[in-house]
Chain A
Amino acid sequence: MSPCYNYRPFGLLYMMSPSGLLDLCFVLLCARLASSWSPSNGVAGPELLPRSLWAEEVSLSLFPSYYTSPDLTDEPDDCKTLLLEFANSSATLSGCLVRYARPVRICQQCYKDFGQLRAIMAQINLKKNDTDICAQRLLQSDRIHMLVVLNDFFEGTWDDCKCDKGCLQKNGTEIRNTTTQFMALYEELTKCFNQNMKEPPIQLPEGNYSKVCYNCNESYKSLNTLYSSLEHSHALCIDLEDAMNSTRILWSREFNCTVPCTDTVPVIAVSAFIIFLPVVFYLSSFLHSEQKKLKLVLPKRFASSTHIQDLSN
């Protein structure tokens, strides 16, 4: 279980949108009210409510009769339970997301929370029978659509992280082997970095080469190779990308380990040769190819005076 489980329940809800919460109360109130007017299902009477709410209920009772039609009165408690579950679960998830934002371990750490939220959402949306209207009541009754907004946010974030496609399997319920493999390699490399960072540079024939580059080269290479192969098979998510990214920055910038071979002379030679070819071609065709001559044809017509003038001069 992740350490952030049950971490400030409802916190996110309160923080994010108080007005949305008010709407939520209103929804619940309406549900209650409706149920109290239903003769078959009088669970909560007006006497149980605080006085102010009771007043509101009275005023609402002046609504036209369609507002209290029977299909609005079914099973308010079920919906309420679902709502509470959603609240808890979303709070947990948001806590997890923030907790593992840096360094990014979102997919590996929060997939269970996300799965839970997804299950609750599915339950809300589940259509048991025709009279089941939890989805309608919880998701569409007001203009804010709090649950929908939150759910969309989580789903969008999850998609952006490419967790399901890249790092998880079995519909997002399990971490892929490749992911664990990569993370293991990564841990190994980090350990290597930590061990060798303070070591003085060593002298090699290719030039100055710090100890860390020399010692960790092997595991860096293998990590890089694995990353490339994962990239090819689209098995990457934000966790791996971020890990690789920071490693590369460390490797190239901090430790200056990328020293590519430069072969300037052969490149210049070959390119000069290729660029020289057209020059030869044009010169030779200019000098050797005979110029194309065209046969002029003089039309049979009256020439203008100019021509004659030219001739007579």
Chain B
Amino acid sequence: MLSATRLPQDAVAEPAGWSRDAAASHVMDSAGCLDVGHVRALLVRGEELLLDSASDSPARSGLRDMADVSKRVSWSVREPQHEDGENTPLLNGTSTGGAQPVRPHSNQSLFRIGQLSTVDLSDESNETETEMMSKSDEEVTHTENLLSLKYESLDYDNSENLLFLEEERRINHAAFRTVEVTRWVICGMIGILTGLIACFIDIMVELLAGVKYQVIKDNIDKFTESGGLSFSLLLWATLNAAIVLVGSLLVAFIEPVAAGSGIPQIKCFLNGVKIPHVVRLKTLVIKVCGVILSVSGGLAVGKEGPMIHSGAVIAAGISQGRSTSLKRDFKIFEYFRRDTEKRDFVSAGAAAGVSAAFGAPVGGVLFSLEEGASFWNQLLTWRIFFASVISTFTLNFVLSIYKKKPGDLSNPGLINFGRFDTDENSYKYFELPIFICMGAIGGIVGALFNALNNWLTIFRIRYLHRRYLQVVEAVLVAAVTGAVSFVMIYYSTDCQPLREGAMEYPLQLFCADGQYSAMASAFFNTPERSVRSLFHDPAGTFNPQTLGSFTLLYFILAVWTYGLTVSAGVFIPSLLLGAAWGRLFGILLTNIPNSTWADPGKYALMGAAAQLGGIVRMTLSLTVIMVEATGNVTYGFPIMLVLITAKLVGDFFIEGLYDLHIKLQSVPFLHWEAPVTSHSLAAREVMSMQVTCLKRREKVGIIVDILSDTTTNHNGFPVIENDGVPGQPARLCGLILRSQLIVLLKHKVFVERENLSITQNRLSLKDFRDAYPRFPPIQSIHVSQDERECLMDLTEFMNPTPYTVPQEASLPRVFKLFRALGLRHLVVVDNHNKVVGLVTRKDLARYRIGKNGLEEMSLAHT
């Protein structure tokens, strides 16, 4: 085995690959203008190459001869498909001796490392047999074990180049204090605007749903007497479908990233993944309209999850002081135009969103802490709390004015759990085990929910990828939701006497005069109201049969609805589902003799907590959110027990819903820690090779060619230096980003020009910030033929001290450095400070603990 695997190692263990590739591509790209330095490096590498018999291929001979063939050998990650035909036989020859053109485990597209990790451990890491891998032209169907190439990292690491130091020197101490004050001002504005958006959503949903329910109720009342209720059914289904059609069209055709709750996306953003379009103004507008339409369209959805996304967009927008969508620049807050600052504000915005959604400011802060906690400090926490409190207060205040009771601050959040402070609501010590049982049920039901939804989402990704199909699906779900609700109400015989303020739209249907259908109070209502009536309606309001059938049907509807192309959250459906079976549980408990303590409302609350915990698997923040929403601190302990149990039981079966969706979107998400059994992996196995490097003084033509090469979309380029000694290997001396290079090219910062016009304004950090975050594409920058021959000096602009690791560093070590510092590129160097490889997010995120130990995911175009 070892001898079989040793062969290829020799070919690749050499740190030669990168420069060979760089040289090759430069040779190709510079079109006849050979880069002497690289050719030399190439020769050196070539001599050092240990040839193995298997790889005696055109690739290397081409390399040696610097013949054109070598240029065609693309080692790049992002090679387009059409070139594959040319490469594949050759590369397969290199790697497999030309025997096997297809990778052996295509069905799962996984490398199983785990089984062999023991072998690796026993050997020296140098003996770990490796080979140069190549790309394949394989096509697979979408699975959860893929990483998409469309996601990039955010630049959380500050580039401490000379410009930065200069600016820091220029800005005095007082100015930094102003910056700090500005941060507070922005957080206040985030809170206010998030609160206002929440108000807008709340009021619009109330109005739209009010009109809809009134129309249907009048219709049903009319037809109950004269017959023809099937028309009411049709009317209900059609109204639902029509409203959802608009919402779904908006989302599917204008901004697909606004679909769903947005929490997975914000989680990814705070994790450091740049999800395209996620914090744009357009997304916010579509999200808000979409939520209003899908909630009033009667889908089994809530408006709470999207608030978190909305808050995040508001934060990202305000903190930049301009809108690129509207092309307005207010010339304020320019200092905050970079990823690090934006991320801090986005976490404040997410917190403000949670706070407005649930009236839970502390819960909001803890939500941000739970989701984006790798970057945290006390002062930031305090600012985020400030934004949270402002947000809930704004919502409360504006809603009190809207409800014509100004100053009556009783609506802290979009969902109002009502007060839980009566005597029946208090719990006894012997109820705690019952609560734990409910937590377990919540975990199991939640796991079932997640598994079904996961399966459904895979089906959707594979088969329903056309936009019009997605819209049709959403419309059908809306119609079916209406129809099912109607049939349930139609067949329910559970009639309850009308009470003062019990229901807004009581449906009598076949009940006696003066009574209403109890099933209607669960189905013929916005989900928020249904939750509240399950929590607070006095015992005996619902029959067990009503609750049982409601739970079953609503479960199916909720599973089916989440993941549609509409903007909607999963919080409220989960709460409603849990409240229904929790109340059922409470009613069944009352059959025990002497069970005066069994208040159904209390059990509905615990069921809601258990169900929500079982689905989303949030812990600390969810506990606090629930406690704050109920306004009863003594519930802290039972809710915590319930959530712990739900998470434990649920995690035994399947992950949380948000994590599943992040996986299915193939996002390179970095968890808290590297997989536990990954210590045997060293950086040299993790990293990507054939790094495209730039020299400290590089020809413009080469830079332009590298940047405009559509097959490689590299974003960070190590800058190397030769020390002026020919033949000496080039050392790493800095790192420069694509965005910086583009700004430099745009301003034509060339050595020759500098010499020509000394009067020209020097570039400052402001020029880089102005271009942020949508740097122009390289195609929009015109470089003349003369300019191509110019030189560019990167010394001033590159980050002179990029983080590096040695090749032998273990994966967990690399991971920790990367995750904790929020890096985008981590350069792997050898003993002589030569660039060997580059670790990016995708290199780290692909390792995962699976059923068979450590697994590796494949990269794919999505």
Q: Are B472 and A291 in contact (CB-based, < 8 A)?
A: no
A308 to B3, CA, bound (A): 11
Taking a contact as CB atoms under 8 Å apart, the answer to whether A275 and B233 are in contact is: no
Tell yes or no: A305 within 8 A of B by CB: yes
Alpha-carbon separation in the docked complex, A295 to B139 (Å):
5
Q: Does A219 contact B (CB under 8 A)?
A: no
> Quick one: which of A271-292 are within 8 Å of B by CB?
271, 274-275, 277-278, 281-282, 285-286, 289, 291-292
Partner of B77, one of A275, A289, A300: A300
Q: Is B619 part of the contact surface with A, judged by Cβ < 8 Å?
A: no
Interface residues of B in 826-862 (CB under 8 A from A): 837, 842-843, 856, 858-862
User: Does the CB pair A292–B141 fall under 8 Å?
Assistant: yes
**Distance between Cα atoms of A296 and B233 in the complex (Å):** 48
Give the residues in chain B near A298, CB-CB below 8 Å.
133-136, 858-859
Whether, in the assembled complex, A310 has its beta carbon less than 8 Å from a beta carbon of chain B, the answer is yes
CA distance A273 to B843 in the complex (A): 50
- Asked if B138 is at the interface of the complex by the 8 Å CB criterion, the answer is yes
Report the bound CA distance from A258 to B228 in whole Å. 17
> Contact at A305–B137, with CB atoms within 8 Å?
no
A-B CB proximity, top 6 nearest: A302-B130, A252-B512, A266-B230, A261-B227, A248-B513, A248-B514
> Interface readout for B504-524 with A: 1 if CB under 8 Å, 0 if not?
000001101111000000000
Q: Would you list 9 pairs from A and B whose C-beta atoms are within 8 A, ordered by A residue?
A: A267-B229, A267-B490, A274-B482, A277-B479, A291-B463, A294-B860, A301-B685, A304-B120, A305-B120
Q: What are the residues of chain A within 8 A of B463 when measuring CB–CB?
A: 285-286, 289, 291-292
A interface vs B, CB < 8 Å? 224, 244-245, 248-249, 251-253, 258, 260-263, 266-271, 274-275, 277-278, 281-282, 285-286, 289, 291-312
**Quick one: closest B residue to A264, CB to CB?**
B490
> Given A297-B861, A300-B688, list of 12 further CB < 8 A pairs?
A260-B509, A292-B461, A293-B140, A297-B149, A297-B858, A297-B860, A301-B689, A302-B689, A303-B111, A305-B120, A308-B130, A308-B131
* Chain B minimum-CB-distance residue to A294: B860
Contact A303 B466 (CB under 8 A): no
Instruction: Please determine whether B4 and A262 come into contact, CB atoms closer than 8 angstroms.
Output: no
Do A301 and B837 have beta carbons less than 8 Å apart?
yes
Contact with A along B139-180 (1 / 0, CB 8 A): 111100010010000000000000000000000000000000
Given the known inter-chain contacts A277-B479, A294-B860, A296-B136, please indicate yes or no for A308 contacting B8, CB distance below 8 A: yes
Find chain B residues with CB under 8 A from A311 CB: 95-96, 100, 104
The A-contacting residues of B in range 474-510, CB under 8 angstroms, are 476-477, 479-480, 482-484, 486-487, 490, 509-510
- With the chains together, A289 CA to B141 CA distance in Å? 13
Chain B residues positioned under 8 Å from A292 (CB to CB): 141-142, 461-463, 465
CB of A271 within 8 A of CB of B4, answer no
Q: Give Cα A251 to B486, complex, Å.
A: 26
Task: State in angstroms the CA–CA spacing of A306 and B853 once bound together.
Answer: 13
Residues in chain A near residue B81, CB distance under 8 A: 295
Q: Are A293 and B843 in contact (CB under 8 A)?
A: no
Chain B residues with Cβ below 8 Å from A269 are 230
**Cβ A299 vs Cβ B512 within 8 A:** no
A300 — which chain B residues lie within 8 A by C-beta? 17, 21, 75-77, 132-135, 688-690
Task: Report B-chain residues with C-beta under 8 Å of the C-beta of A274.
Answer: 237, 479-480, 482-483
Chain A interface, >50% SS class: helix
Q: Is the CB of B226 within 8 A of A261?
A: yes
Give which listed residue, B130, B228, B477, B860, contacts A304 with CB less than 8 A: B130
Q: Say yes or no: is B78 at the interface (Cβ < 8 Å to chain A).
A: yes
Consensus secondary structure, chain B interface: mixed
Residue contact B479 to A263, C-beta cutoff 8 Å: no
Asked if B5 CB lies within 8 Å of chain A CBs, one says yes
Evaluate contact between A294 and B135: CB separation under 8 angstroms: no
Tell whether, in the assembled complex, residue A305 and residue B464 are in contact, meaning their CB atoms are under 8 Å apart. no
Q: In whole angstroms, how far apart are the Cα atoms of A251 and B472 in the complex?
A: 47
**Proximity string of chain B (187-208) to chain A, C-beta cutoff 8 Å, 1 when within and 0 when not:** 0000000000000000000000
Q: How many residues of B contact A (CB 8 A)?
A: 97
Take A245-B514, A305-B128 as given contacts and tell me if A296 and B111 are in contact as well, using a CB distance cutoff of 8 Å: no
| Shortest Cβ gap from A217 to chain B (Å) | 12
A282 / chain B contacts, CB cutoff of 8 Å = 459
B379 contacts chain A at the CB level, 8 A cutoff: no
In the complex, the answer to whether A295 meets B137 with C-beta atoms within 8 Å is yes
Q: Assess the B860–A263 pair: CB atoms within 8 A.
A: no
Closest to A298 in B: B135
- Asked whether any CB of chain A lies closer than 8 Å to the CB of B124, the reply is no
Check A224/B112 contact, CB under 8 A, given A270-B234, A271-B483, A301-B685. no
Is the pair A301, B688 in contact by a Cβ cutoff of 8 Å? yes
Chain A residues, CB < 8 A from B334 = none
Query: What is the chain A residue whose CB lies nearest that of B456?
Result: A282
On whether the beta carbons of B131 and A224 are closer than 8 Å, the reply is: no
Whole-angstrom CA separation of A270 from B514 in the bound complex: 29
Asked if B859 and A263 make an inter-chain contact with CB atoms under 8 angstroms apart, the answer reads: no
| B225 is an interface residue with CB less than 8 A from chain A | yes
- Taking CB as reference atom, which chain B residue is nearest A292? B465
A246 and chain B: residue at smallest CB distance? B514
Asked if A289 and B464 sit within 8 Å, CB to CB, the answer is: yes
Contact bitstring B94-127, A, C-beta under 8 A = 1, else 0: 0110001000110001011101100110000000
How far does the Cβ of A58 sit from chain B's closest Cβ, in whole Å?
51
- Closest Cβ of chain A to B103, distance in Å, is 8
Alpha-carbon distance between A78 and B387 when the two chains are bound, in angstroms: 59
Task: Return the contact of B513 from the options A251, A308, A309 (Cβ within 8 A).
Answer: A251
Residue contact B685 to A304, C-beta cutoff 8 Å: yes
Contact B230 A270 (CB under 8 A): yes
Which residue on chain A has the smallest CB distance to residue B861? A295
Q: Shortest CB–CB separation between residue A297 and chain B, in angstroms?
A: 4
Distance between A188 CB and nearest chain B CB, rounded to angstroms: 18
Q: Are A278 and B229 in contact (CB under 8 A)?
A: no
C-alpha gap A208/B292 in the complex (Å) = 49
Q: Which chain B residue has the least Cβ–Cβ distance from A289?
A: B463
Q: Which residues from chain B contact A270 at a C-beta distance below 8 Å?
A: 230, 233-234, 483
B1, CB-defined interface residue at 8 Å = yes
* Bound complex: CA A306 to CA B116 (Å): 6
Closest residue of chain A to B96 (Cβ to Cβ) is A311
Known contacts: A262-B510, A294-B862. The answer to whether A271 contacts B131 by CB under 8 A is: no
Q: In the complex, which residues of chain B have a beta carbon less than 8 angstroms from the beta carbon of A281?
A: 472-473, 476
**What chain A residues lie within 8 Å of B733 (beta carbons)?**
none
- How far apart sit A251 and B480, CA to CA, in the bound complex (Å)? 36
Interface: B352 (CB within 8 A): no
Does B469 sit at the interface, judged by CB under 8 A? yes
- Chain B neighbourhood of A249, CB < 8 A: 512, 514
Q: Is B267 an interface residue (CB 8 A)?
A: no
A312 to B513, CA, bound (A): 81
Which of B116, B135, B514, B687 contacts A309 (CB under 8 A)? Answer: B116
Q: Which residues of A contact B708 (CB under 8 A)?
A: none
Known: A271-B486, A275-B484. A304 touches B128 (CB 8 A): yes
- Residues in chain A near residue B120, CB distance under 8 A: 304-305
B465: A residues at CB distance < 8 A: 289, 292
A278-B476 contact, Cβ under 8 Å, with A304-B111, A306-B115: yes
Q: Contacts A253-B512, A258-B512, A296-B138: A308 and B230 contacting too (C-beta < 8 A)?
A: no
Chain A residue contacts of B681, Cβ below 8 A: 304
Chain B contacts for A302, CB-based, 8 A: 12-13, 130-133, 684-685, 689
